[in-house]
Structures are given as C-alpha cells and as structure tokens.
Structure 1
Amino acid sequence: MTAPRATKTRTPKIRENLPAPQTAEGLFFHYTPEEAAQWTPFSARTLRDRIAAREIEYVFNGRDNYLTGAQILSLNERYTVKPFSKTHTRVAA
C-alpha cells in the first residue's frame, strides 16, 4: 500500500490595499516576496531565491524575509536598462 498523495498546495497570502513602494508610506512598508513581485521585474520565486542566495538586500525579522519599498525601488533601478546615447562629434573639414 502506498501513502496518499498530498493534494494541498500552499498559496501565498497577499494582503489587500498595499501602499505603492514609491509613496511615503510604502518606502518603509514591509512586503513579502509575493507582494513585492508585482512591482519588480522578477517573479516571487526568483525574489525568494535571490534572498536565499543573499544577492539582494532584504529585511529579516527572525522568521520571514521582507522587502521594503525603498529596497524595491533600488532593485528596479539596478536592473533597469538605460538607453545608450551616442555622442556625435563633427569632423572639421
């Protein structure tokens, strides 16, 4: 006889009415990786993996990992590709 297969999957709980990270209240608000994923170029899984590898800044409260709004903004700034502007120089004839 085999053991019954687990059918429950863990769905992350995302709180409602979260402040945006760029607002004054959101800069110091603690977002879970699932909540922060909507404002970053990464998925929640990628954020959790990068936190575990200590590749990005995060807040650890003794049990869970969080990202503040300021950390989300700096993460977006770090991974934003800026357009290349080539300077044109004139050649004197």
Structure 2
Amino acid sequence: MTAPQATKTARRKRPAPRIRENLPAPNTPEGQLFHYTPYEAAQWTPYSGRTLADKLARREFDFVSNGRDNYLTGAQIVALVERHTVKPFTKPARVAA
C-alpha cells in the first residue's frame, strides 16, 4: 500500500481591474470631485494600483468609501502627490547684525 498523493488545488486568478477610458485629470475642475478607483488613480501617484488599494484598506490616506469600494477624489490625489513632492532647498538669507 502506498501513501496517497497530495493534490494541488487550482489557484483562482483575480480578474484584471477595469480601468475606465477618458478619465479627467485630477487637477482639472471636472476631475476634482471625480471618484477614481485605486487602479485608475495609480497613473498620477507614485504608487501602483495594488499598493494604493492596500494603503486605503489600512486607512493610511484619506479616501471615499461607499461601504464596499474605496475611491480617491481628484483633490485627494493632488494632495497625495503634493505630500510626496520634494521642494528645492534654498539657503536662508543671512541676517545682518
């Protein structure tokens, strides 16, 4: 008698996220209040769509929730990008004594 062979279970692949076409840019007037999914917002942020979705689930950023899905408004995307923008360094002016 031999030992039973282990069987592999098929892994379910996640469906590719749907990204809508002709999205307004977040810094335009129509994009300020538009709701972007994390995968749609990723093209304007320094994060991938999956990383954004994980950070939203951990509540690391401000977001809009409808109870099931998480969204970012254009204003939130602009604020997120500004938070990660490095400003150039300027020396302070010398004060004459």
Q: TM-score per shorter chain, which class?
A: 0.7 to 0.9
C-alpha distance in 2 between matches for 1:28 and 1:63 = 19
Q: Deviation per CA, 1:44-72, whole angstroms, max 9, x where unpaired?
A: 12211211111100000111000000000
C-alpha distance in 2 between matches for 1:59 and 1:90 = 47
Query: What's the C-alpha RMSD, in Å, of the aligned pairs?
Result: 1.9
Q: Give the alignment's TM-score, normalised by structure 1.
A: 0.86
Shift of 1:83: 1.1
Counterpart residue type for residue 20 of structure 1? A
Name structure 2 gaps, 5 residues minimum. 1-5
Counterpart residue type for residue 20 of structure 2? R
Name structure 1 gaps, 5 residues minimum. none
Quick one: percent identity of the two aligned structures?
62
Q: Give the alignment's TM-score, normalised by structure 2.
A: 0.83
Q: What corresponds to 2:3 in structure 1?
A: none
Q: Indicate the structure (1 or 2) with the bigger Cα radius of gyration.
A: 2
Number of aligned pairs? 92
